[in-house]
Structures are given as structure tokens and as C-alpha cells.
Homo-oligomer: A and B are copies of this chain.
Amino acid sequence: MSEESIRRPGGRSARVRAAVLDATLAELADGGYDQLTVEAIVARSGVHKATLYRRWGGIDGLIADVLSRSVEQPWQVPDTGSLGGDLHAITRLIYEGFTDPEQGAIPRNLIVAALRSSQAAQALTGFFETQHGLAAEVVSRAVRRGEVPEGTDAVDVVRTACAPLYYRLFVTGEPLEEEAAGRAAEAALAAARAGAFLPRERPA
């Protein structure tokens, strides 16, 4: 595929970006960060190597831009009518994202890459900041419905629901089962209801 054959909405620059980042994602799905090469992305995208180096600097810049693009494509935050339902839906999304037999390697390899590149790490932190901020809406709604106390730290509820899934995936290496995703949602819900995410009085 030549650079010219790429037909995408947006200007030429947007088309080149889409082709290169899609190729980066496809390579991340096939192999890991260790296998990721500029040459493979050039071959897959049909974009010239010089263009790629000029615009992204190299692999780490590509990974950072993949994460930036993900942030530009916001997801539909669940709205099931209850905090429990919403937290279950969020942890289920994460479970499905990482266990998908074809696409699951992509988010995994993005996070592993971030552990090895400060540029990718910065982009990943920004990515999660955005995702947490969007997901926090499920807690704000629950506060308005009176499900959890006013003053609940919404982002911390989200972190608590999500963290046990990532803990299995990236730290302990325990299998991630659907049931574990549900239990993480339940635990965050119970803790939020009990007021565990209210600001704490500090000792004077």
C-alpha cells in the first residue's frame, strides 16, 4: 500500500497518522514491545520511514501517540441506573479488553511499553487521568441519587474497582476471570456506600 493509496477522512496529515497508528496497533497485537520495529510499521502502513521518524521520532513517540489518539476517542461511560451496575459494566469492559483473544495483547503491550519508556509512561498517565475522569461520572450520578455519601472521592472509587484487575494482569500474574472483575466492582461499591472514600480528618 503506498502513502497515496490511503483514503481516510481528514487531510493528508490525518490520513498518514491514522495509517501509521493503526499499523502500530496491529504490530502491538501481533508481537510485544520487544518485537516492535519502525521497519515493520513502515511496511504495514506504506508511509515512508523518513516521514515516520520526522513526525514521531521512533517507537516511543508512536506508542505515546497511540495513547493520545485513544484519549481523543472517548468511550461511552456506562449508565445503567445504579452505581453497582455501572461499576460492573466498567470492570467488565476492562476484563473483555484484556482477555479478547485477538485484541487483548494491544492494551497489555501498551502498558508494558510504558514501563520501559518515559515518553510512553507520560502518555499512559495522561490516558488514565482522562479515563478516570470520564468514569468518575458514574459516582457523581450515584451521589446525586443518594446511593453514596456526598463528598465521596469519585476517582478513587473508580481506581478501587479497576485496580484488582490490573493487579492480576501486571503484577501477580494470576488469571483474570470474569468473576474477579465482578468482585472488584462489588468491593468498590460496598466501600463507597460505607463512606470509605470520604475525605479523612487528619490528626492535628
Contact = CB atoms under 8 A, between A and B. Distances in A.
Interface residues of A, number: 42
Interface in A157-204: 159-160, 162-164, 166-167, 170-174, 182-184, 186-191, 193-197, 200
A53 interface: no
Contacts of A195: 190
A121 interface: yes
Interface stretch (A1-9, A55-63, A108-116, A137-145): A108-116
A114 B173 contact: yes
A34 interface: yes
Contacts of A122: 173
B125 A172 contact: yes
